[in-house]
Amino acid sequence: MMKFEHVSLPQRVRFGTGGARENLAAEIEAFGASRVMVIATEGGRELAHTVADGQPVVRWHHEVVMHVPVEVAERAREAAEADRVDALVCIGGGSATGLAKAVALTSGLPIVAVPTTYAGSEATNMWGLTEGARKTTGVDDKVLPRAIVYDAALTVGLPVELSVASGLNALAHCVDSMWAPRADPIDRALAAEGIRALRLGLPQIVKEPAGIEGREYALYGAYLSAHAFASAGSGLHHKICHVLGGMFNLPHAQTHAVVLPHVLAFNAPYADDARRLIAAAFDASDAVEGLRQLREELDAPRALRDLGMPGDGIAAAADAVLAAVPPGNPRPVTRENIAELLSAAWEGNDPR
């Protein structure tokens, strides 16, 4: 018998290539905002000014740091309060969105997210802050962006290598949504379609970086992946990556890209329905092989050691992951098999 409880988060999505400025203006007008804070990285400054040109911006905030250190979040909160900001606009990837969420977490200010990567954070009510070597995450509806403005043209400037890593990060949301603590049939349907879209889009980006069709597929897939993930919750893959990111300050998307095939190979034999759905979405006979073929086509990053993780950190990471394992993971998790998984990901070994 089918029995489940599914929650869809309240959020408006405006999707249209070339329509970012117009759609952002419409959202700011809908909020009635008159004192906007725009959050974007230094590297995204020019694009942010172009997209938000003509809006009532009182603060352009460009101190954006990966994994959102608590001291960076506090300075952004102080700036928003000092300028009496009444709405936040984040333009960029997961780090910009994460900082906007950190401000909204304590202020309740509404967010309009304008993504330029495939991170997916814009579609979730999850936040993350890093203090020292520990990353803390949580769920709060205050941090959910009220609206998302998707424009594939804004992702054309994202280099192929980063596009691949970011897209595989989105794919990781899909895979985790198959067996995360609150996963249900709707989450799995969204995740499967997300995998299909990313499987179609990412190779096109590699072959034709300036093309729009591949970018649109990837952006569409990234939204579906995050929508599913927001409902299903954080599974084993994300717990591992949060530990590694906070402990070793590893690049977010690349870490997800490296760890994903190892988690899929770890869990798939213990989750028949999920394995079949993932394989079908890859148009492959086997889920692990489907991901392997896609990664081969994309020349995806392979080893945690290439990202700067020290080999002597595996033991401490295994202990931290074991303490964070989510309930209901398809395969029983032990310190030994997690250490083995991390060792394989650190070496870049074939997870099969």
Report residue 19's pLDDT band, with 50, 70 and 90 as the boundaries: very high
pLDDT average, residue stretch 25-52: 97
CA 74-75-81 angle, to 5 degrees, is 90
Which pLDDT does position 208 carry in this prediction? 97
pLDDT of residue 1 exceeding 80: no
The torsion of the CA quartet 15, 16, 20, 21, rounded to 10 degrees, works out to -120
Of 45-49, 230-234, 267-271, 274-278, the one with minimum mean pLDDT is: 230-234
Q: What is the DSSP string of 113-134?
A: EEESSS--GGG--EEEEEETTE
Residue 147's beta-bridge partner residues? Answer: 12, 112
39 phi/psi in degrees, rounded to 5:
-110, 125
Structure confidence by residue, pLDDT tens digits, 308-319: 999 999 999 999
Which pLDDT does position 132 carry in this prediction? 83
- For the chain, the average pLDDT equals 95
pLDDT of residue 286 exceeding 80: yes
Report d(CA 252, CA 31) in Å as an integer: 32
Which pLDDT does position 135 carry in this prediction? 81
How many other C-beta atoms are found inside a 10 Å radius of the C-beta of residue 260?
25
Report d(CA 98, CA 251) in Å as an integer: 14
**Residues above pLDDT 90, as percent of the chain:** 91
pTM: 0.92
Which pLDDT does position 246 carry in this prediction? 86
Q: Is 224 helix (H, G, I), strand (E, B) or coil?
A: helix
How many residues does this entry show for the chain? 352
Which pLDDT does position 36 carry in this prediction? 98
Cα–Cα separations (whole angstroms), residue 120 to 144, 274, 287, 345: 12, 21, 22, 23
CB 225 within 8 A of CB 171: yes
Domain boundaries, the chain: 12-155, 160-347
With CA atoms as reference, report the closest residue to 214 among 136, 166, 302, 152: 152
* More confident site: 160 or 133: 160
pLDDT average, residue stretch 57-62: 98
Q: Crossing angle of helices 212-232/160-176, nearest 10°?
A: 30
Which pLDDT does position 331 carry in this prediction? 97
Report residue 68's pLDDT band, with 50, 70 and 90 as the boundaries: very high
pLDDT of residue 151 exceeding 90: yes
Report residue 18's pLDDT band, with 50, 70 and 90 as the boundaries: very high
Report, in angstroms and rounded to the nearest whole number, the Rg of the chain calculated over CA atoms.
19
Report d(CA 170, CA 198) in Å as an integer: 8
**Residues above pLDDT 70, as percent of the chain:** 100
With CA atoms as reference, report the closest residue to 244 among 260, 268, 228, 221: 260
Provide the token pair at 219. 């952006």
Which pLDDT does position 66 carry in this prediction? 87
pLDDT average, residue stretch 184-205: 97
Please list the alpha-helical segments (H only) found in the chain.
20-31, 45-51, 70-82, 94-107, 160-176, 185-207, 212-232, 236-248, 252-267, 272-281, 287-298, 314-324, 335-347
Structure confidence by residue, pLDDT tens digits, 196-227: 999 999 999 999 999 999 999 999 999 999 99
pLDDT of residue 180 exceeding 80: yes
What is the topology classification, in CATH, of domain 160-347?
Dehydroquinate synthase-like, alpha domain (1.20.1090)
Report residue 8's pLDDT band, with 50, 70 and 90 as the boundaries: confident
pLDDT of residue 133 exceeding 80: no
Report residue 134's pLDDT band, with 50, 70 and 90 as the boundaries: confident
Which pLDDT does position 26 carry in this prediction? 97
CA 224-284-350 angle, to 5 degrees, is 95
Domain 12-155 has CATH 3.40.50.1970: yes
